[in-house]
Structure 1
Amino acid sequence: MSEKTYTRDLGEGVRKRHYHRTEKGKVIDFVVQLEVILEGKWKPVIRYDCSHNFAHIDRYNIRGEKVKEDIYLTYEDSLTLADEDININWEYYKEKFLKGEYS
């Protein structure tokens, strides 16, 4: 079993947290989350993960409310999508979040 964890700063007060675990070369667990610092605390903006035994996206608003969206992909493809989406769209998601909208 292998695990990889890192946090990457994307801009001032914005970061991406990445975690995944593989077994025999297959992704068996993952979380990729965009966070912004708000009132001194890191808040989730958008999170891709596979808790509850299925891949999905949790989209948050500034009040901490969330909506869940299923991802109909393998864990491997969902992890790739999560990394690419957040790397490309983090500024857009941050802006929507700070306006009070779901990312």
Structure 2
Amino acid sequence: MKKVNFALLFFFAVVSMSAQDITGNWKGVLKVPGAELNLVLHITKSENKLTATLDSPDQKALGIPVTSTTFENSTLKFTVDNLTIEYEGVLDKNQIITGTFKQMGQSLPLVFTR
């Protein structure tokens, strides 16, 4: 009986981990030399594909189209080709994405929260 309970517990733990939902609005503060920029990432899912837009409210830049967005094995990756932006971060159990924002040869830490 204990083996069955353990197997069921393990199964549900694996299912819940693989079912992490990345969609929604994520906010972060990018600390650049001499300033801090608020960023908002809006992720949606349609037909099993993720799409996103990025806002930089401090620069009055809203709805910037994200070129590609992927989320696999708790890792979020997105790019904005025309601005040479790349981001890669890991979603933890507390719904915090910790990663690196890259643009024009610079790499900066960037944490997103809901």
TM over 0.5: no
TM-score (norm 1): 0.35
User: Which protein has the bigger helix share?
Assistant: 1
TM-score (norm 2): 0.33
